Amino acid sequence: MQDDPKTLVSTDWLAAHLEDPDLRILDASWYLPGTDRDPKAEYVSTHIPGARFFDIDEISDLRSDLPHMVPPVEKFMSRLRAMGVGDGHQVVVYDAAGILSAPRVWWLFRLMGQEDVAVLDGGLPKWLAEGRPIEDMPPVVRDRHMTVRRQNHLVKDVTQVSAASKLADTTILDARSAARFQGEADEPRRGLRKGHIPGSLNLPYPELLTEEGTMKAPEALKAAFEAAGVDLAKPVITTCGSGISAAILSLALERVGHRNHSLYDGSWAEWGAFPTLPVATGA
């Protein structure tokens, strides 16, 4: 793969830069409710040297009833400052699933105007499989100021997505499984209707990954988008269950050079909970 410190870097790249003074590594591991895994406890016992833990559920807007919504700018700045992450740093984000939740944090940094951030391709599983160094020690942290310039065009709310659904001028692309998208499988969160946003397309995020858990090459990504019916000349809104795996689609779009994309933060956790919003089923 071609390393790009603004989107995706390999384990070789990270290993070569591990001692760089301005490198900051974030463990952004997260799991769906009911998986019985504790990402924070796993981080404490095993992480890439120097990594800080980025708690997706805590670094969010806790005033919202929806899960891990985008945090207020001030909260993001204060949490990252406390982690010693700020201006002038190259950030690399990984997760313990391979590529699942790390792209969400990559997208969140981009939303906050930070561009020197990349996802570790293959994540912790690939790093461990290659026998690379790990530790269980907390990093030494020094405060670092972060300048935030929120890029509002990168996020969409329910009103904007509803308008896009009606006007059909933007592709709404859903990262959930085909069974969930078609309304044939229950949602992992209770109380949500089954189905998808009318007019949206389905590209389950595993189709963007190789069998080894790395992201496919840009040519293969482009083929996957086209096979799902995506017109890469049009704007794209990515969505999923709660705004996590949608960011995998966003990262893949960035990898193929598609810049006009945004993420529906509330995703199906919001749309599926509102009885007044239309729902479609089937393919």
Q: Where are the domains of the chain?
A: 8-150, 153-271
CA distances from 6 to 14, 90, 176, 189, 203 (A): 13, 9, 25, 33, 23
- The verdict on whether 240 is a catalytic residue reads yes
- Could you tell me if 267 and 245 are in contact, meaning their C-beta atoms sit under 8 angstroms apart? no
Structure confidence at residue 271 (pLDDT): 98
Question: Parallel, antiparallel, or unpaired: how do β-strands 261-264 and 236-239 relate?
Answer: parallel
- Could you tell me if 252 and 215 are in contact, meaning their C-beta atoms sit under 8 angstroms apart? yes
Structure confidence at residue 46 (pLDDT): 98
Q: What 3-state class would DSSP assign to 172?
A: strand
Structure confidence at residue 33 (pLDDT): 77
| C-alpha R_g of the chain | 18
Q: Is the dihedral of CA 237, 243, 249, 253 positive or negative?
A: positive
Query: What letters, b where the CB count within 10 A reaches 16 and e where it falls short, cover 124-161?
Result: bbbbeeeebeeeeeebeeeebebebeeeeebbbebeeb
Q: Which CATH superfamily is domain 153-271 in?
A: Rhodanese-like domain (3.40.250.10)
Q: Cα separation of 248 and 206, whole Å?
A: 9
Structure confidence at residue 72 (pLDDT): 98
Tell the CATH topology of 8-150: Oxidized Rhodanese; domain 1 (3.40.250)
Within a 10 A sphere around the Cβ of 194, how many other Cβ atoms? 17
8-150 shares its CATH topology with 153-271: yes
Q: Is the dihedral of CA 263, 245, 4, 201 positive or negative?
A: negative
Per annotation, catalytic residue among 8, 240, 248, 252: 240
**Residue ranges, the chain, pLDDT below 50:** none
Structure confidence at residue 1 (pLDDT): 85
In the structure encoding, which two tokens stand for residue 167, read together? 């006007």
